[in-house]
């Protein structure tokens, strides 16, 4: 996955753009032939190693219903 794709996934999670993240993951998944789960799991900041879930939680979106929560087996409750 290229740097721009990782940046976009992390940004959308950080900004709580739930619908946009879901749409973006669907589009990238269709083009790359990788599952949404694989994309979310692979999207990590190269320096801090933080993932979409880290960014969402750090910005107070712990309860948001983003695909990464389901992918990582984290309950929003």
What pLDDT band is residue 60 in, cutting at 50, 70 and 90? confident
Give the span between the Cα atoms of 29 and 10, in whole angstroms: 16
The pLDDT value recorded for residue 71 is: 47
Measured on CA atoms in the order 32, 36, 40, 41, is the torsion positive or negative? negative
Check if the beta carbon of residue 40 is closer than 8 Å to that of residue 25: yes
Listed residue (73, 15, 62, 63) closest to 40, CA to CA: 73
pTM summary value? 0.78
What pLDDT band is residue 62 in, cutting at 50, 70 and 90? low
Percent of the chain with pLDDT over 90: 35
């Amino acid at each position: 996955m290229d740097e721009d794709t990782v940046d976009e996934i992390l940004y959308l999670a950080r900004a709580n753009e739930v619908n946009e993240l879901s749409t973006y993951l669907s589009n990238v998944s269709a083009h790359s032939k990788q599952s949404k789960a694989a994309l979310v799991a692979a999207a990590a900041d190269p320096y801090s190693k933080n993932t979409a879930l880290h960014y969402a939680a750090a910005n107070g979106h712990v309860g948001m219903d983003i695909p990464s929560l389901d992918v990582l087996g984290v309950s929003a409750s």
